Amino acid sequence: MSKIPSISSDTMTLTRHVLAQQKLAKNATGDLTQLLTSIQTAVKVVSFAVRKAGITQLFGTAEKTNVQGEEVKKLDVLANDLFINMLKSSYTTCMMVSEENENIIEVEAEQSGKYIVCFDPLDGSSNIDCLASIGSIFGIYRKETDEAPSPSLGLQPGNKMVAAGYALYGSATVMVLTTGNGVDMFMLDPSIGEFILIESQMKIPLRGKIYSINEAYENKWEPAIKEYVKNKKDPSKGKPYGARYVGSMVADVHRTIKYGGIFMYPITTDAPKGKLRLQYECNPMAFIVTQAGGLATNGKIPILDVVPTSIHERSPIFLGSKEDVEEVQALINQHAN
């Protein structure tokens, strides 16, 4: 006879976890806790919408393109509106940067706070209609001056982030979060509508067995990247790595953190500055990976040290297990000399 699953009377929810961290922090005001609570509410609604997308006719396009020139899906629009509305109503943000908006999103003075949030409301949305994993990404910065909201306020390097996280809408919905004190993972329990801590202080393996890159662009890569991927397939250079690529950064990076290995999106001849966006894709993921013990670089310097020049700036990125990233960086340096 199977046992009846036990119900904990001391469940560590995401809100409880953040409140506990707030208690330990010096000079904490509770604003960051309030902000993270608003983000998790947005994530819960997006998760519900993703699960019901087919039934509620949210599949398909919204018949427009975003600032990136990408086709906008109906769920993109819904997720973006949810994040904007929840963040504004938190009374903790002064401005936002979204993948879906060409300009910054200012918060009215009466609702304004001290944080700046950069987010991709629905990463990997091209996978929506085929039911592959998608996600949301966010990075949080503190407003450093008293000046009015402007694009320049959002041009802070990733090493100034106070928190970052992502939600993955897969076989279950999880949120992975760091406030600069390690990385924790929470799973949404639909029966109680709360995110429950399932893994504390996540650590990425020192080396993995998987590389993740879009190999369709191989003929457009730099020689160092071609050599690196060729080496990962060559039995004479050790046990070959497996190739895994979903096409959703959240899904590919989440797998990389769990199993180790490397995620790469290098420059190509068609995209000499890279494709992924620095402020709301590369930086939050790099912050999470480094907090988990991994590395993240743009091929020249740690990506968290890059000072952005525009809110939608693109960048190449290599992140994952420490030894894997060091290996590809060594090849890049070798080819550069």
Q: What confidence tens digit (pLDDT) does each residue in 172-192 have?
A: 999 999 999 999 999 999 889
Please check whether residues 19 and 146 belong to one and the same domain: yes
Can you give the CATH number for the domain in which 162 is found? 3.30.540.10
CB atoms within 10 A of CB 328: 25
* Residues in contact with 262: Cβ distance below 8 Å, sequence separation at least 6, in sequence order: 208, 210, 211, 212, 256, 318, 319, 320, 321, 324, 325, 328
Give me the count of residues in the chain: 337
Please check whether residues 166 and 243 belong to one and the same domain: no
Please check whether residues 51 and 183 belong to one and the same domain: yes
State how far the Cα of 88 lies from the Cα of 110, in Å rounded to an integer.
10
Q: Which residue positions in the chain have pLDDT lower than 50?
A: 1, 62-63
- Give the chain's domain count: 2
Asked, for residue 9, whether it belongs to a domain, the answer is no
Owning domain of residue 195 = 14-199
Please check whether residues 183 and 284 belong to one and the same domain: no
Asked, for residue 1, whether it belongs to a domain, the answer is no
Looking at 199, 222, 248, which one is the last position of a domain?
199
Q: ∠ at Cα 176 (171, 180), nearest 5°?
A: 170
pLDDT at 20: 85
pLDDT at 271: 94
Looking at 199, 231, 263, which one is the last position of a domain?
199
pLDDT at 4: 53
pLDDT at 336: 84
Please check whether residues 166 and 242 belong to one and the same domain: no
Task: Please report where in the chains the tokens 């700046």 appear, as a residue.
Answer: 116
pLDDT at 78: 84
Looking at 199, 230, 253, which one is the last position of a domain?
199
Which runs of consecutive H residues, i.e. helices, occur in the chain?
14-24, 31-51, 74-88, 223-233, 249-259, 283-291, 322-336
Asked, for residue 278, whether it belongs to a domain, the answer is yes
Can you give the CATH number for the domain in which 300 is found? 3.40.190.80
Please check whether residues 44 and 163 belong to one and the same domain: yes
Asked, for residue 44, whether it belongs to a domain, the answer is yes
